[in-house]
Amino acid sequence: MSISNVHALSPEGQFMLLAYLAIVGTALAGLAGLAPWTIGAGAIALAAVSQSIYGDLYRRGREAGLATLVDGVMLRSLGNAVLASTAAYGLGWVLRGI
């Protein structure tokens, strides 16, 4: 068995892995019956990953005078993060009851 078969993740893959871990962690929090504030922690983690990926585009959009549009995109991204975290927590909570 050779170590040469192991490949490192690309930067994009690392961000995807972090987002996946945030969602799975929130689902596990629901499964374990932890407090619902863990939804916020998962949402913040997902929003931070989004900011890490698209932060340069947000900055360039602001510099081009599109601050209102960029703010809307950022709020929708945060809303999507909250929705994903809520769904993951809810799924974990439902599975706990089964």
Q: Locate the domains of the chain by residue range.
A: 11-97
Coil, strand, or helix at residue 71?
helix
Query: Percentage helix, strand, coil, to 5, in the chain?
Result: 85, 0, 15
Output the tens digit of pLDDT for each of the chain's 98 residues. 455 555 677 878 889 999 999 999 999 999 999 999 999 999 999 999 999 999 999 999 999 999 999 999 999 999 999 999 999 999 999 999 88
Give me the pLDDT at residue 58, please: 93
Give me the pLDDT at residue 14, please: 87
Give me the pLDDT at residue 8, please: 72
Provide CB contacts within 8 A for 70, sequence distance 6+.
Answer: 58, 61, 62
Q: Are 59 and 70 in contact (CB under 8 A)?
A: no
How far apart CA 46 and CA 19 sit, in angstroms, is 6
pTM of the prediction?
A: 0.85
